[in-house]
Structure 1
């Protein structure tokens, strides 16, 4: 399925971290302790405060990357006594990896293409109702306590992207959500994933898409 149109090419410093996804318009707190990522944060703070989050395809050092990640901007930073950082990263835009660059920095860098998502896209009333109905079923089955009044007040982008970021799915499912080409497609996929993952019983082994 084709993705949203590309609007720009950019050089990005990347933080490849499995299971930690960022979506545009949302925030991700990170504790930075490895020396190479301390260097990356210091470099970002000295330039444009931007760091790109992306999942590696395997846990091995230097593993290939998935095709799509999310560019973030450091909104808040706490420098720690041990040289590390606590940062709050705000999602700016999704990107597609074009190629990995040969660099001398301790952290990896890529050339990427920013993706033109529509920040004003909304769900139809039927899509929104269908999602909330499935989310209630999933939450009840998993034993989650949810403030549904607060959920009802969220705009469509915050709701769908927010659930995509925090949902207890495996890394492959969450990557598929990040790669979905629009809000409606992401909503539809979320419903399918809640139905899929919701089939497991408490005594079953974890259901994954792998």
Structure 2
């Protein structure tokens, strides 16, 4: 299935089920929020969030003289559904969104709006299979180990559902945008969990190296002479 979405390029990756708060101050994005607020009751108030691969932090509007081609966005993104809107006296907004389904951009479409609009195809989220069910406990254990090294204590309040776990790990671990984008683009829960096992092993190993206890200065031998 296909459709169209207002597009909000950001320097981050949104995952289904995860919360994304945003402070809206630029006029074109204020227009987007106002247009979503004006939709009839019962109409989903949604826009697409996609990570910027290269270029400006926020995509310039077409009428400001900088071509869309000068900003490269990743083709796979996630729908953000508006859940809470706070409008300030100066016209700015604080909004809270929750990630919904994934999409792939098929192209930019002509629009009278100051913000970009894209054609999208909806990406399915297959039900967990036996492979995902088998991988989930391993990823859960690996993520707890990672959190233990990162924070000093593991988090016991973690889901064991393979799909929810795969998205939570991808969004919560301290990963690069490239890593997160690769996880978002994974075709199914088993593929995402399998990749997370590799990433978590790498990140935990790096954390252990960085957090190695330094030796006391006296243990390093006599201080060097200045002469």
Alpha-carbon shift at residue 144 of structure 1 (Å): 4.8
Q: Aligned to 2:105, what secondary structure does the other structure show? A: strand
Distance in 1, Cα, partners of 2:160 & 2:34: 35
Contact 2:144–2:155, Cα closer than 8 Å, also in 1: no
Contact 2:132–2:162, Cα closer than 8 Å, also in 1: no
Alpha-carbon shift at residue 157 of structure 1 (Å): 2.3
Distance in 2, Cα, partners of 1:125 & 1:10: 32
Partner residue in 1 for 2:197: 191
Larger Rg: 2
Alpha-carbon shift at residue 16 of structure 1 (Å): 0.2
Alpha-carbon shift at residue 174 of structure 1 (Å): 0.5
Distance in 2, Cα, partners of 1:193 & 1:176: 11
2:113 aligned to which of 96, 101, 105: 105
1:14 aligned to which of 7, 19, 24: 7
Change over 3 Å in CA distance of 1:99–1:154 after alignment to 2? same
Partner residue in 2 for 1:134: 142
Partner residue in 1 for 2:174: 168
Partner residue in 2 for 1:58: 54
Give the root-mean-square deviation of aligned CA atoms.
2.1
Change over 3 Å in CA distance of 1:203–1:59 after alignment to 2? farther
Alpha-carbon shift at residue 142 of structure 1 (Å): 2.1
**Normalised TM-score (structure 1):** 0.83
Partner residue in 2 for 1:29: 21
Q: Which runs of 5+ in 2 are unaligned?
A: 60-67, 213-227
Contact 1:74–1:89, Cα closer than 8 Å, also in 2: yes
Alpha-carbon shift at residue 124 of structure 1 (Å): 4.8
Partner residue in 1 for 2:86: 78
Q: Aligned to 2:141, what secondary structure does the other structure show? A: helix
Q: Which runs of 5+ in 1 are unaligned?
A: 1-7, 205-210
Q: Aligned to 1:199, what secondary structure does the other structure show? A: helix
**Normalised TM-score (structure 2):** 0.77
Distance in 2, Cα, partners of 1:163 & 1:57: 21
Equivalenced residue count is 193
